Amino acid sequence: MTIDEMYIQIKEHFSKPDAVLGKTDINCFYRLDSDPLSPVRCAAGCLIPDDKYNPAWEGLGIRDAMKESNMADVLGISVGDSNAVGFLVAAQREHDDSTSTTSFLEGLEDVYNHWRD
């Protein structure tokens, strides 16, 4: 998955009227619940196909999940692709620091402009 593809998919997900940031006050979740129809995802979580999601990833940061499991393969990102990994980590950080989907989408645009190919 390229930076452009990740950006488009994340932006489309969080632009839906029912999209919710996948986090609580203290924790972020790839998926807040196991319901595949639930819109509650984090920036990386909305990139994970429903049939590939692994609950064992919860609690792991993106870099750790990519190194210690098959998340990199699921996302189609090489662990050695520092730009793609950097974009995803920065997008996730923006998600975690945002207070609304609107503020997240604004910050995501900045992240994309910094990391895009």
Over residues 65-87, the mean pLDDT reads: 92
What pTM did the predictor assign?
0.89
Helix (H, G, I), strand (E, B) or coil at 85: helix
Residue identified by tokens 């639930």 is 38
SS3 41: strand
Q: What is the pLDDT of residue 39?
A: 63
Burial class (CB in 10 A: 0-12, 13-18, 19+), 81: middle
The domain locations on the chain are 3-115
48 with 30: CB under 8 angstroms? Answer: yes
CA dist., res. 52 & res. 96, Å (int): 23
pLDDT of res. 100: 92
